[in-house]
A and B are shown apart, each in its own frame.
Chain A
Amino acid sequence: MDYNFQWHKMFSGEPAQWMWDGFVTTLQISSISLICAMLLGIIICVLRMTPFKPFQWFSLAYTEFFRNTPLLIQIFFWYNASHVIIPTAINEWMNDLYYWFPGPFSMFGTQFVGEWVLFNVELITGVIALTVYTSAFIAEEIRAGIFSIPKNQLEASRAVGLSFLQGYRYVILPQALRIVIPPLISQALNLIKNSSLCMVIGVTEMMFQATQIESYHAIPFEAFSVALLIYMIISLIVSFCITMYNKHFMIQVMY
């Protein structure tokens, strides 16, 4: 064991700065994708529940396809190959996004450093990939939650005079979403962990910065250990917070 540990290098100068930037980008990309994935997952799940067959088929194909292919392949697909199916105008718009926030700027009276809120095409591609991948899982979990709600609740809501969508919006989903909080926690954590894969297309999140520190400063073991510790702390904090939330707010469904 003749490895020369240089922990002090990790906590000063460039490595520390890069790690911090990566941490912020990781939080940014995972929070945006989590919100989008929740919404998309709910939509896909409701499509699966509609009586209209083509919607059901679409949603079934969507969930099965995106659940059964690796996220890495999907990231490669969205980054390298999606320009074939995406209209040219949208492509150009996405490529121009880089110039939105090139430097420090202020928004709502707060001064932001440009790099923090940088919306470049890599980040958007990463968000799309993470969103689509996670939404397929979320849709399945919400569907399981909806199945655990007795069917006569929907029937009752229809009988009371609510439409199909209103019945879902006011009766079924509020209950189902609370039931599925525990599996959604694990999906959120998975999403944060999966965001590390976005490094392959050059999103400058924590994993990317760790590899960068490895190649610039030749302290691979230290860099990856610090990244590992940060990921673990994020996971522990998120799961602790949501468990607490869950303990206070989870309701029992009336049967």
Chain B
Amino acid sequence: MHWDIVIHNFDYFLWGQTQFDGVFPFIHEPGGLLAAIILAAIGIFGAFWIGLAAGLMRLSKRWWLKIPAVCYVEMIRGMPLLLLIFWFFFLAPVLIGQTLPAFTTTMFCFMIFTGAYVAEIVRAGVLALPKGQLEAARGSGLSQVQAMQFVILPQALRNMIPSFVNQFVSLIKDTSLAAILGVGELTRTGVQVDNREMVASFEIWITIAVLYFMICYVLTSYSRRLEAQLSRYQARDR
């Protein structure tokens, strides 16, 4: 057993080749676990807005809003994330004439990919509210957009919080795919140290699995608790 290799490289697992300095945004070339968390956080932030837009478009009755959203969601949900990353990596030069850095590519891919799943969460959340809510809002004189903004979404989004946490967990797990394009996040640091040391594969992969597990497990148990708390205040039919 070579646990000393893991101990010596533990800080490398945690932040890789990150440079901390006084220049905005203070963290440059993020790596290791830090990069995984940054990628996941930016990804879920972007995915929230993309998903909100796509989910609401899919609920719309106008076909020119509905069809693009349906195509987007069904397409993204039908393809593996790895394929999306590669495809986007080679599509970007076709679109903008130059290659994107691997970090940016994966960041956009995480947004686009998770956005499709968030769209389904948003749609399910809005549909799960009793129909009377929207009817009452329309009946009291609000327009469709106002009813959505002031009545439906505040309730629906709050009910969706546990699903968002779950989506965030799966996004943290998905950030490991960035390693294949060469982004130096947690998985990549593991591959590097594994290839350098050769003798400690078992220890290294167990350590990295445990690092991912700790973050994801904390979040999943939090989401479970949240779900139990929120279900008490849900609006119901009846």
Write out, one digit per residue, whether chain B residues 183-194 have a CB within 8 A of any chain A CB (1) or not (0). 000010011001
Chain A residues contacting B79 (CB-CB under 8 Å) are 193, 228, 231-232, 235
8 closest residue pairs by CB, A with B: A68-B216, A235-B78, A193-B80, A81-B202, A81-B201, A70-B176, A232-B78, A220-B90
Within 8 A of A (CB), among B62-95: 74-75, 77-84, 86-87, 90-91, 93-95
Q: Are the C-beta atoms of A71 and B83 separated by less than 8 Å?
A: no
Asked if B213 is at the interface (CB within 8 A of a chain A CB), the reply is yes
Do A196 and B213 contact each other (CB < 8 Å), given the known contacts A68-B169, A73-B205, A224-B90? no
Within 8 A of A (CB), among B81-124: 81-84, 86-87, 90-91, 93-95, 97
Q: Nearest chain-B residue to A224 (Cβ)?
A: B87
Do A231 and B206 contact each other (CB < 8 Å), given the known contacts A1-B97, A68-B216, A80-B194? no
Q: Are the C-beta atoms of B78 and A72 separated by less than 8 Å?
A: no
Q: Are the C-beta atoms of B209 and A77 separated by less than 8 Å?
A: yes
Chain A residues contacting B213 (CB-CB under 8 Å) are 65, 68-69
Write out, one digit per residue, whether chain B residues 1-22 have a CB within 8 A of any chain A CB (1) or not (0). 0000000000000000000000
Q: Are the C-beta atoms of A196 and B80 separated by less than 8 Å?
A: yes
Q: Nearest chain-B residue to A197 (Cβ)?
A: B82
A1 to B77, CA, bound (A): 28
Asked if A155 is at the interface (CB within 8 A of a chain B CB), the reply is no
Chain B residues contacting A2 (CB-CB under 8 Å) are 97
Asked if B39 is at the interface (CB within 8 A of a chain A CB), the reply is no
Within 8 A of A (CB), among B157-208: 169, 173-177, 179-180, 187, 190-191, 194, 201-206, 208
A139 to B175, CA, bound (A): 24
Q: Nearest chain-B residue to A82 (Cβ)?
A: B202
Asked if B220 is at the interface (CB within 8 A of a chain A CB), the reply is yes
Residue pairs across A and B with Cβ atoms less than 8 A apart, 28 shown, are A1-B97, A3-B94, A68-B213, A69-B212, A70-B174, A71-B176, A72-B179, A73-B176, A73-B205, A74-B209, A76-B205, A77-B205, A77-B206, A80-B194, A80-B201, A81-B203, A84-B201, A84-B202, A193-B79, A199-B82, A207-B82, A210-B83, A214-B90, A221-B91, A224-B87, A231-B79, A231-B80, A236-B74
Q: Tell me the minimal C-beta distance from A252 to chain B in angstroms.
A: 20
Asked if A200 is at the interface (CB within 8 A of a chain B CB), the reply is yes
Asked if A17 is at the interface (CB within 8 A of a chain B CB), the reply is no
Write out, one digit per residue, whether chain A residues 121-160 have a CB within 8 A of any chain B CB (1) or not (0). 0000000000000000000000000000000000000000
- Please count the residue pairs between chain A and chain B whose beta carbons lie under 8 angstroms apart in the complex: 116
Given contacts A67-B216, A69-B212, A231-B78, 15 further A-B contacts (CB under 8 A): A1-B97, A3-B93, A65-B209, A70-B173, A72-B179, A72-B187, A73-B208, A80-B194, A81-B206, A85-B202, A189-B78, A194-B80, A207-B86, A224-B86, A235-B78
Q: Are the C-beta atoms of B83 and A231 separated by less than 8 Å?
A: yes
Q: Are the C-beta atoms of A200 and B212 separated by less than 8 Å?
A: no
Asked if B217 is at the interface (CB within 8 A of a chain A CB), the reply is yes
Write out, one digit per residue, whether chain B residues 129-159 have a CB within 8 A of any chain A CB (1) or not (0). 0000000000000000000000000000000
Q: Nearest chain-A residue to B77 (Cβ)?
A: A235
Chain A residues contacting B205 (CB-CB under 8 Å) are 73, 76-77, 80-81
Main secondary structure of the interface of B (DSSP, over half): helix
Chain B residues contacting A193 (CB-CB under 8 Å) are 79-81
Write out, one digit per residue, whether chain A residues 201-235 have a CB within 8 A of any chain B CB (1) or not (0). 00000010011001000001100110110011001
Asked if A92 is at the interface (CB within 8 A of a chain B CB), the reply is no
A232 to B72, CA, bound (A): 12
A67 to B213, CA, bound (A): 9
A82 to B176, CA, bound (A): 19
A214 to B212, CA, bound (A): 32
CB < 8 Å: which of B84, B93, B212 contacts A70? B212
A189 to B191, CA, bound (A): 28
CB < 8 Å: which of B74, B86, B173, B174 contacts A210? B86
Q: Are the C-beta atoms of A68 and B83 separated by less than 8 Å?
A: no
Chain A residues contacting B176 (CB-CB under 8 Å) are 70-73
Q: Tell me the minimal C-beta distance from A83 to chain B in angstroms.
A: 8
Q: Tell me the minimal C-beta distance from A206 to chain B in angstroms.
A: 8
Q: Nearest chain-B residue to A192 (Cβ)?
A: B80
Chain A residues contacting B220 (CB-CB under 8 Å) are 64, 67-68
Chain B residues contacting A214 (CB-CB under 8 Å) are 90
Do A72 and B86 contact each other (CB < 8 Å), given the known contacts A77-B205, A77-B209? no
Chain A residues contacting B206 (CB-CB under 8 Å) are 77, 81
